[in-house]
Amino acid sequence: MGINSRSVAGALVPAIFLLLRFAGAAEPPVKKAREPLGLMPIIWPADNPYTPEKVELGRLLYFDPRLSADGSVSCASCHSPKFAFTDGAAVSTGIKGQKGGRSAPTVINRAYSLAQFWDGRAPTLEEQAKGPMANPIEMASTHDAVVDTVKKIAGYRVLFAKAFGTEDITIDHVAKAIATFERTILSGNSPYDRYKAGQKTALTPSQVRGLQLFTGKARCDECHEGINFSSNAYANLGIGSDKPDPDVGRFAVTKNPKDWGTFKTPTLREIANTAPYMHDGSLKTLEEVVDVYDKGGIPNQNLDSRIKALHLTDQEKKDLVAFLRSLSGEGWQQIKAPEKLPE
CA–CA separation, 39 vs 337, rounded Å? 24
CA–CA separation, 185 vs 306, rounded Å? 32
| Active site residue ranges | 138
User: Nearest to residue 79, comparing CAs of 109, 55, 51?
Assistant: 109
CB distance 195 to 206 below 8 Å:
no
CA–CA separation, 295 vs 51, rounded Å? 48
CA–CA separation, 232 vs 263, rounded Å? 10
CB distance 164 to 298 below 8 Å:
no
CA–CA separation, 124 vs 105, rounded Å? 15
CA–CA separation, 310 vs 214, rounded Å? 11
CB distance 283 to 91 below 8 Å:
no
